[in-house]
Amino acid sequence: MDNLLGLLRIRIIRGKNLVIRDFRSSDPYCILRLGDQRLKTRVIYRSLNPVWDEELTLSVENLDLPVELMVYDHDTFSRDDEMGDADIDIHPLLEAQKMHQDSSTIPNGTILKRVEPSEENCLSEESCITWRAGTISQNMHLRLRNVESGVIELELHWIDLAGANNP
């Protein structure tokens, strides 16, 4: 952990309009992957609009590695089925964090930056980086790829540790 740059805390809020992988519904859960780290939410049974509201924390040592989100349908007697995936671009959040290190004068609720959906990101709508209660967070609606439908809503927090050892 010599090169630990920070912690990425991701609150996976909900899924919307996910695909059917069982008879009438699915049993979805999410996996976050960064390098060899793999974190998992709980399974929500029989729901295409699941609410997880669960926080997962990744250790970030290398900013060039992609943060990946994958959704699966849990099955008891067979292999879990894929329900789509997306990349989470953390660079706009890190840039905003760098620009607003001394943020004591910013009013609560200020939007620091807006990120528009584009070919390069998986956003389904505008994403806002917001200053609130002493921290910076970014909300995201991610359109799942490799699947017919589905959006995952989440919120990112960055906890900077890069300067932790420098007085």
Decide if residue 46 touches Ca ion (CB under 5 A).
no
Cβ atoms of residues 92 and 115 within 8 Å: yes
Binding-residue total with Ca ion (CB under 5 A) = 4
Nearer to Ca ion, 73 or 85 (CB): 73
Sites for Ca ion among residues 83-102 (CB under 5 A): none
Nearer to Ca ion, 47 or 103 (CB): 47
For Ca ion, which residue of 73, 85, 89, 153 counts as binding (CB under 5 A)? 73
C-alpha to C-alpha distance for 13 and 41, rounded to whole angstroms:
10
| Pattern 26-45, Ca ion, x by CB under 5 A | -x------------------
The angle formed by the CA atoms of residues 159, 161 and 164, to the nearest 5 degrees, is 135
C-alpha to C-alpha distance for 88 and 154, rounded to whole angstroms:
10
C-alpha to C-alpha distance for 150 and 128, rounded to whole angstroms:
20
Nearer to Ca ion, 27 or 153 (CB): 27
For Ca ion, which residue of 22, 95, 125, 148 counts as binding (CB under 5 A)? 22
Which amino acid makes up residue 46? R
Nearer to Ca ion, 44 or 86 (CB): 44
C-alpha to C-alpha distance for 70 and 90, rounded to whole angstroms:
16
Summarize as ranges the residues that interact with Ca ion (CB under 5 A). 22, 27, 73, 75
